[in-house]
């Protein structure tokens, strides 16, 4: 049977191949420290479950295609509070940030259209773009430069007649880079001048560790036609399994086009929308304590990482990931070795080999992404294991 | 800003334009009888809500991309019971039947590829196909022939080098047509001979009123490469707002390709999957009583419809819709008139004008779809109103 060229260009998750080996290692008695997973361990606020438990209608009916009005109102209010006024009609609720991205991509990309994305980037962006027939045009960054991409000349030099948009994660996954307001304005000016959409994936917005106020593209004035923001409750409220996200834009024509997709898939689950609405009642105390916990984890990770000779790492300002270049030949090979051939007193470690975070062939081969979503003591031990492993691997 | 050619070919729901007029009519004191909505009024089994209320984990984490194992097991068991053995790996859970259809379409259709679909069909099929760059090639049926499409010569004559699949809803939305096992085999033989996917959208499977056992494409042997089934809990358990569906196929390569989409969007909501699992414990008594209620509604609708001169209708065997050709010039115009200019003792009626159920231009202009998801007495009154309205409209 013949399959579409679009799906043939997509890949299965490259992390998946390690799962059977991890199981095998655990069966053999090894303890694995997981730096490879972006699933937070912070409890989901009780408000979510309470709201769902209070649902008392007899029929679990379709919700409206754009989302339930209570959730739309809650999101509007949230943005008002961070000084980014939007209307209800600027928001469409989606099945997680993932669907929001799929919807936007399908509305703006045709075959051979290009979207600029700083690499390394969240690997699922590739699938979202490939499914449209379009392609990612990478803006390459390096660990030595701290993965900096907000450089006007470097971005503009990559724009051509096929370019339709710029997509970036801010705060950054996998790099932890956070843009300043001036850098956001610089990107918006480029987008406006070249008639491009500027798509900010801001799902990690709450996780910024430099005491700056929360930044959003939606705070900028004068770029309503260009700016699109992707948001989600997954990370903000540690509610990944709710799959509630949204796309926000003041570009009415874009929103009308996205609505076609929304209507075709009828709606986003009713109860999860009710739960998500309640999450927006969670106060700033919740974020403050979560942020503090993550900052401690990040600081511990960086402190330990410093002790390993030859490691080049981003000093992340936001999100909950650190990218690092290791002094090994190939982090994919190294991960196999860590699972199959090595342990430090019965312990080993998993991370995300970073090759799939790049679209330029050959890049990322000695890099890894680490998620700091486990407790501080476990993080310290993980990096200790990593250091010992690097030494052992290189003296083989 | 430029939008993709794919989204430009999609439309907003044609029903939407009547919503403000309906609101206006209600404000003016009219009572509207709704035959236009496919939202069942049957209570969702309590098991769904109970299972969700019993969830006691602290963190609402991502579910596995293919679906939670309990739900996959429950679906496997359900199919075993209707004599359609499948493996766990033949099932991928989706955000409703809608996402299941989007996933399959994106895996098999490229620009200008064609998928055969009997018309009239569920209008959202157009969006799912248009988003891939492919197109629907209709197999035209007529009210006078009872919307019959399972005719070998008629289908084969429409196959060309661009044809990739045949898609049909069975039991049929909007026609209520139910295929016999011999007709299913005939379709499967065509698919096999011409190397096509045969996609059965079987979300209305439980709603068959001729006392035949439940039929599924998955009961056929020898067509594993070709057959794909779309399923959902929405109609079966009156749980439209759960948005839990699945795609089922024994074609391993297809499932691997669909898995790429599943992994990219991470997962389907965790709690809804837990609720849906519990629904599969609902016994045959539930279906028997629901089926009996719908059969009564259908019989009442048909009985009343018979009394209106000049109406040609399908006598539906399944689902909960009736298609009918009315003796009026244009059912879209007629709907405007029903809302704006007419009432029968303060009452009027809404249906779905059927033009959007056809892709052949000009067809369906005098047809409508009626959903019998309201109580028997309301159905009788709706059709009485319709009959009186037709007489009044034609003697203007």
Q: Express each pLDDT in B5-36 by its tens digit.
A: 999 999 998 877 898 899 999 999 999 999 99
Digit-coded pLDDT (tens) for A120-175? 999 999 999 999 999 999 999 999 999 999 999 999 999 999 999 999 999 999 99
Q: What are the two backbone dihedrals, phi and then psi, of residue A317, each rounded to the nearest 5 degrees?
A: -100, -20
User: Is B108 in contact with A2 (Cβ distance < 8 A)?
Assistant: yes
Among the residue ranges A277-291, B124-138, B164-178, the one predicted with the least confidence is A277-291
The answer to whether A141 touches A20, Cβ cutoff 8 Å, is no
Nearest CA in chain A to B122: A264
Q: How confident is the model at residue B283 (pLDDT cuts 50, 70, 90)?
A: confident
The predicted structure's pLDDT at residue A315: 85
Q: Which residues of B touch A162 (CB under 8 A)?
A: none
The predicted structure's pLDDT at residue A396: 84
Q: How confident is the model at residue B212 (pLDDT cuts 50, 70, 90)?
A: confident
The predicted structure's pLDDT at residue A128: 98
Chain A nearest-CA distance from B241, in A, is 4
Chain B nearest-CA distance from A374, in A, is 13
The Cα–Cα gap between A350 and A371 comes to: 10
User: Is A4 in contact with B108 (Cβ distance < 8 A)?
Assistant: yes
Among the residue ranges A13-22, B132-141, B250-259, B365-374, the one predicted with the least confidence is A13-22
The predicted structure's pLDDT at residue B359: 95
- Residue A216, sorted as left (phi over 0), alpha (psi -120 to 50) or beta, turns out to be beta
Q: Is the pLDDT of residue A211 over 90?
A: no
Q: Which residues of B touch A270 (CB under 8 A)?
A: 241-242
Q: Is the pLDDT of residue A38 over 90?
A: no
Q: Mean per-residue pLDDT for A305-324?
A: 94
Reported as half-sphere exposure (CB side, CA atoms, 13 A), residue B320 has a value of: 30
How many pairs of residues across A and B have Cβ atoms under 8 Å apart?
232
User: Is B260 in contact with A96 (Cβ distance < 8 A)?
Assistant: no
For a pLDDT cut of 90, what percent of chain B falls above it?
93
Q: How confident is the model at residue A247 (pLDDT cuts 50, 70, 90)?
A: very high
Taking chain A, what is the end-to-end CA distance rounded to the nearest angstrom? Answer: 47
CB-CB: which of B7, B39, B133 is closest to A61? B39
Q: Is the pLDDT of residue A15 over 90?
A: no
Q: Is the pLDDT of residue B3 over 90?
A: yes
The predicted structure's pLDDT at residue B13: 86
The predicted structure's pLDDT at residue A169: 98
The predicted structure's pLDDT at residue A304: 97
The predicted structure's pLDDT at residue A268: 98
Q: Please, what is the average pLDDT of chain A?
A: 96
User: Is B58 in contact with A52 (Cβ distance < 8 A)?
Assistant: no
Mapping DSSP onto H, E and C, the string for chain B reads: CCCCHHHHCCCCCCCHHHHHHHHHHHHCCCEEEECCCCCCCCCCCHHHHHHHHCCCCCCCCCCCCCCCHHHHHHHHHHHHHCCCCCCHHHEEEEEHHHHHHHHHHHHHCCCCCEEEEEECCCCHHHHHHHCCCCEEEEEECCHHHCCCCCCHHHHHCCCCCCEEEEEEECCCCCCCCCCCHHHHHHHHHHHHHHCCEEEEECCCCCCECCCCCCCCHHHCCCCCCCEEEEEECCCCCCCHHHCEEEEEECCHHHHHHHHHHHHHCCCCCHHHHHHHHHHCCCCHHHHHHHHHHHHHHHHHHHHHHHCCCCCEECCCCECCEEEEECCCCCHHHHHHHHHHCCCECCEEEECEEHHHHCCCCCCCCCEEEEECCCCHHHHHHHHHHHHHHHHHHHCC
The Cα–Cα gap between B285 and B162 comes to: 46
The predicted structure's pLDDT at residue A205: 95
The DSSP output letter for A207 is: -
CB-CB: which of A55, A58, A106 is closest to B131? A106
Q: How confident is the model at residue A216 (pLDDT cuts 50, 70, 90)?
A: very high
The Cα–Cα gap between A246 and A92 comes to: 5
User: Is A124 in contact with B263 (Cβ distance < 8 A)?
Assistant: yes
Q: Is the pLDDT of residue B39 over 90?
A: no
Q: Is the pLDDT of residue B197 over 90?
A: yes
Instruction: Provide CB contacts within 8 A for B375, sequence distance 6+.
Output: B41, B297
Q: Please, what is the average pLDDT of chain B?
A: 96
Nearest CA in chain B to A124: B264
The predicted structure's pLDDT at residue A212: 85
User: Is B1 in contact with A264 (Cβ distance < 8 A)?
Assistant: no
Q: Which residues of B touch A13 (CB under 8 A)?
A: 263
Q: How confident is the model at residue A14 (pLDDT cuts 50, 70, 90)?
A: confident
The predicted structure's pLDDT at residue A213: 84
User: Is A48 in contact with B61 (Cβ distance < 8 A)?
Assistant: no
Q: Mean per-residue pLDDT for B67-94?
A: 97
What are the structure tokens assigned to A93, written together? 């609720």
User: Is B2 in contact with A164 (Cβ distance < 8 A)?
Assistant: yes
Digit-coded pLDDT (tens) for B233-269? 999 999 999 999 999 999 999 999 999 999 999 999 9
Q: Mean per-residue pLDDT for A242-246?
A: 98
User: Is A1 in contact with B225 (Cβ distance < 8 A)?
Assistant: yes
Chain A nearest-CA distance from B180, in A, is 26
Q: How confident is the model at residue B99 (pLDDT cuts 50, 70, 90)?
A: very high
Nearest CA in chain A to B198: A1
The predicted structure's pLDDT at residue A50: 97
Q: In the block, which residue shows the tokens 């209320």?
A: B53
Digit-coded pLDDT (tens) for B123-144? 999 999 999 999 999 999 999 9
Chain A nearest-CA distance from B356, in A, is 13
Q: How confident is the model at residue B314 (pLDDT cuts 50, 70, 90)?
A: confident
The predicted structure's pLDDT at residue A312: 96
User: Is B272 in contact with A268 (Cβ distance < 8 A)?
Assistant: no
Q: Mean per-residue pLDDT for B23-50?
A: 94
Chain B nearest-CA distance from A102, in A, is 9
The predicted structure's pLDDT at residue A214: 84
Q: Is the pLDDT of residue B213 over 90?
A: no
The predicted structure's pLDDT at residue B396: 83
Q: How confident is the model at residue A389 (pLDDT cuts 50, 70, 90)?
A: very high
For a pLDDT cut of 70, what percent of chain B falls above it?
100
User: Is A240 in contact with B39 (Cβ distance < 8 A)?
Assistant: no
Q: How confident is the model at residue A112 (pLDDT cuts 50, 70, 90)?
A: very high
The answer to whether A273 touches A66, Cβ cutoff 8 Å, is no
Q: Where are the alpha helices (DSSP H) in A114-151?
A: 124-130
The Cα–Cα gap between B28 and B30 comes to: 6
The DSSP output letter for A377 is: H
Q: Which residues of A touch B10 (CB under 8 A)?
A: 257, 260-261, 264
**Residue B48 class from Cβ within 10 Å (0-12 exposed, 13-18 middle, 19+ buried)?**
buried
The predicted structure's pLDDT at residue A219: 98
CB-CB: which of B43, B53, B62 is closest to A59? B43
Nearest CA in chain B to A233: B60
User: Is A62 in contact with B39 (Cβ distance < 8 A)?
Assistant: yes
Nearest CA in chain B to A67: B241
Q: Which residues of A touch B124 (CB under 8 A)?
A: 263-266
Q: Is the pLDDT of residue A80 over 90?
A: yes
Digit-coded pLDDT (tens) for B320-336? 999 999 999 999 999 99
Q: Is the pLDDT of residue B214 over 90?
A: no
């Amino acid at each position: 049977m013949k399959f579409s060229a679009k799906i043939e260009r997509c890949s299965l998750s490259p992390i998946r191949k390690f799962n059977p080996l991890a199981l095998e290692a655990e069966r053999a008695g090894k303890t694995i420290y997981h730096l490879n997973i972006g699933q937070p361990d912070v409890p989901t606020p009780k408000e979510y479950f309470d709201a769902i438990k209070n649902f008392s209608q007899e029929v679990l009916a379709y919700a409206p295609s754009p989302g339930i009005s209570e959730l739309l109102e809650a999101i509007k209010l949230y943005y008002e509070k961070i000084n980014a006024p939007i209307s209800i009609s600027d928001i469409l609720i989606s099945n997680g940030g993932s669907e929001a991205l799929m919807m936007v991509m399908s509305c703006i990309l045709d075959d051979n259209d290009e979207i600029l994305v700083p690499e390394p980037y969240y690997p699922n962006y590739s699938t979202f773009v490939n499914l449209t027939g379009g392609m990612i045009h990478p803006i390459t960054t390096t660990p030595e430069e701290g993965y900096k991409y907000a450089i006007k000349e470097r971005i503009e030099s990559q724009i051509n007649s096929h370019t339709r948009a710029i997509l970036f994660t801010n705060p950054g996954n996998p790099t932890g880079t956070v843009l300043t307001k001036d850098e956001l304005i610089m990107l918006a000016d480029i987008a406006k001048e070249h008639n491009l959409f500027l798509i900010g994936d801001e799902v990690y917005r709450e996780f910024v560790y430099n005491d700056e106020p929360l930044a959003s593209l939606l705070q900028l004035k004068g770029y309503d036609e260009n700016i699109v923001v992707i948001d989600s409750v997954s990370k903000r409220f540690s509610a990944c399994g709710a799959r509630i996200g949204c796309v926000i834009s003041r570009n009415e024509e874009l929103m009308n086009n996205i609505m076609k997709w929304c209507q075709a898939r009828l709606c986003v689950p009713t109860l999860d929308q009710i739960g998500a609405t309640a999450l927006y009642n969670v106060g700033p105390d919740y974020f403050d304590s979560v942020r503090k916990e993550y900052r401690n984890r990040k600081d511990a990770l960086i402190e330990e990482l410093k002790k390993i000779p030859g490691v080049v790492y981003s000093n992340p300002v936001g999100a909950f990931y650190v990218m690092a270049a290791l002094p090994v030949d190939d982090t994919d090979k190294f991960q196999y070795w860590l699972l199959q051939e090595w342990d430090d007193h019965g312990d080993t470690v998993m991370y995300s080999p970073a090759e799939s975070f790049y679209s330029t062939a050959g890049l990322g081969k000695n890099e890894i992404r680490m998620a700091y979503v486990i407790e501080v003591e476990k993080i310290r031990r993980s990096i200790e294991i990593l250091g010992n492993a690097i030494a052992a691997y290189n003296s083989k």
